[in-house]
Amino acid sequence: MTWQTVIGLEIHVQLSTKSKLFSGASTGFGAEPNTHVDLVDMGLPGVLPVPNKDAFLKAIRFGLATNAEINQVSSFDRKNYFYPDLPKGYQITQMAMPIVGKGSIKIFANGEEKIINITRAHLEEDAGKSVHDLFEGETGIDLNRAGTPLLEIVSEPEIANAKEAVAYFKAIRQIVTFLDICDGVMAEGSMRCDVNVSMKKVDDSELGTRAEIKNINSFKFIERAIAFEIDRQTKILESGGSVAQETRLYDSVKNETRSMRSKEEANDYRYFPEPDLLPVVISDKELEEIRSSLPELPEQKEKRYINEVKLEASEARIIASSKTMANMFEEACLKTDDSSLVARWLVGEVSALLNKDNIEIDESNLTSNNFAVLIGRISDKTISGKIAKSVLEEIWESGDGVDAIIKDKGLVQIQDESLLESIAKKIVEDNPGQVNAYKGGKDRLFGFFVGQVMKETQGKANPQSVNEILKKLLK
């Protein structure tokens, strides 16, 4: 039997407002517990929520960037459940009239482009944090996060495998960071997602029963949780069983999903319209202002890099996919002429260092100024590519200026042809055996001579000059 996987994602994006969705408490991350809490977040009797306009404007930015319908009139509903980190006993969310309606986003996975449709994106408040492992027999509650604005982005069940799910999540992260509506820092929980997985026979028109895996906050875990779930559900179906509709938890230590039975029986949220809030209305003028202030998005950047800057498609995609990378590219290109060399170094050596340290480019010691100077010194042949790599590593460590590093370490490329020639001559004289073998047809030995000259000059020789000189000498 061939089973087809159907996946839908609900992504919770923490909007980067300064204050909460319904109160004037700060949303700052990492504060002392329970210091960013207002009377409204605490759910005290007699208080009323007042909507933060900026959260709506940010949600609309997302909607416009994903070609979505914008509901200029949107309203709130109560989702009722009891949990200690939700003091009111209900979450204020948008059920009936979400701010953002149907939209779509383009993803790139398994070597292909695909459009994933977005069902809706609605505003809601985050819950507080429960701390289970600090206290014996008790759970600690920190309400700093309670009331932080979330945009919940719900995809259609159109995602076919784990790779596509990760690509979709990355595409959403790209867009929200480019739009400056979320910092995208996964480690701080700025983006989390619930994954719905079900299996059906290829010919079936109806979807199978789905399991929902809650609260995953890394690309790697999304991929692993889905892989585990596909395997689990396939085994159940193959042996004639049926998949239970339930909420599951992904355990990254054991790499498995587990049923969260405790939440199961309470899965009746009794939604009703929030009586404490009137509908929020966005005017045509406000909508147009947001539309005209949208920044260039990754897809547009990628096209421009290919068509106008003439980058390779693969380079354009990598650079355009990250806001910090694109900023670095564009700033460096303003200060140097060789855009394609800037691109090649960004995608190659710089990306390698970023991956090694697992950081974004704006967290590194590399400034666009310094990077532009480095590219300039390669272009004007002051240093070779190989030396430039060690200069880049030095910048990475110290943040020192390119020219200072080149001067301090004596790295300037040897352009003096006569000096190179005398070094090359000596190497040819010292290695008669290799010379004979080379002249006898062992062409590969040419590299040996180049290597020796480079060794002698500590890598400072201009490789092109060395090639020419050696060719002449070995004729």
Residues that bind other proteins (CB under 8 A): 17-19, 23-26, 32-39, 42, 50-56, 73, 75, 80, 82-84, 96-97, 130-132, 134-135, 137-143, 249, 260, 262, 265-266, 268, 270, 273, 275, 277-281
Residue 196: CB minimum distance to other proteins, A: 19
With vertex at residue 98, the alpha carbon angle to CA 97 and CA 102, rounded to the nearest 5 degrees, is 110
Q: Which residues of 134-172 are buried (b: 16+ CB within 10 A; e: fewer)?
A: eeeeeeebbbbbbbbbbbbbbbebbbbbbebbbbbbbbb
Residue type, 131: V
Q: Which contacts (CB < 8 Å, 24+ apart) does range 429-437 have?
A: 435/474
Cβ proximity to other proteins, 131 vs 454, nearer residue: 131
With vertex at residue 234, the alpha carbon angle to CA 222 and CA 204, rounded to the nearest 5 degrees, is 100
Residue 193: CB minimum distance to other proteins, A: 18
Cβ proximity to other proteins, 131 vs 412, nearer residue: 131
With vertex at residue 27, the alpha carbon angle to CA 23 and CA 30, rounded to the nearest 5 degrees, is 145
Helix axes 53-65, 284-292, angle to 10 degrees: 60
Residue 292: CB minimum distance to other proteins, A: 20
Cβ proximity to other proteins, 266 vs 359, nearer residue: 266
Contact criterion met (CB below 8 Å) for 43 and 89: yes
Residue 268: CB minimum distance to other proteins, A: 6
Cβ proximity to other proteins, 17 vs 413, nearer residue: 17
Query: Cβ neighbours of residue 118 under 8 Å, at least 6 residues apart?
Result: 66, 68, 102, 103, 104, 105, 153, 154, 155, 156
Residue 209: CB minimum distance to other proteins, A: 22
Cβ proximity to other proteins, 48 vs 334, nearer residue: 48
321: nearest Cα among 297, 346, 345, 354: 297
34: nearest Cα among 147, 189, 148, 141: 141
Cβ proximity to other proteins, 110 vs 130, nearer residue: 130
Query: Cβ neighbours of residue 158 under 8 Å, at least 6 residues apart?
Result: 8, 116, 117
Cβ proximity to other proteins, 193 vs 311, nearer residue: 193
Residue 156: CB minimum distance to other proteins, A: 25
Residue 139: CB minimum distance to other proteins, A: 5
User: Element (H or E) spanning 213, and its range?
Assistant: strand 211-216
Contact criterion met (CB below 8 Å) for 69 and 98: no
By three-state DSSP, how is residue 29 classified? coil
Residue 183: CB minimum distance to other proteins, A: 15
Residue 198: CB minimum distance to other proteins, A: 23
Cβ proximity to other proteins, 25 vs 226, nearer residue: 25
Cβ proximity to other proteins, 17 vs 93, nearer residue: 17
Query: Cα torsion at 466, 471, 473, 475 (round to 10°)?
Result: 170
437: Cα within 13 Å, side-chain hemisphere = 12
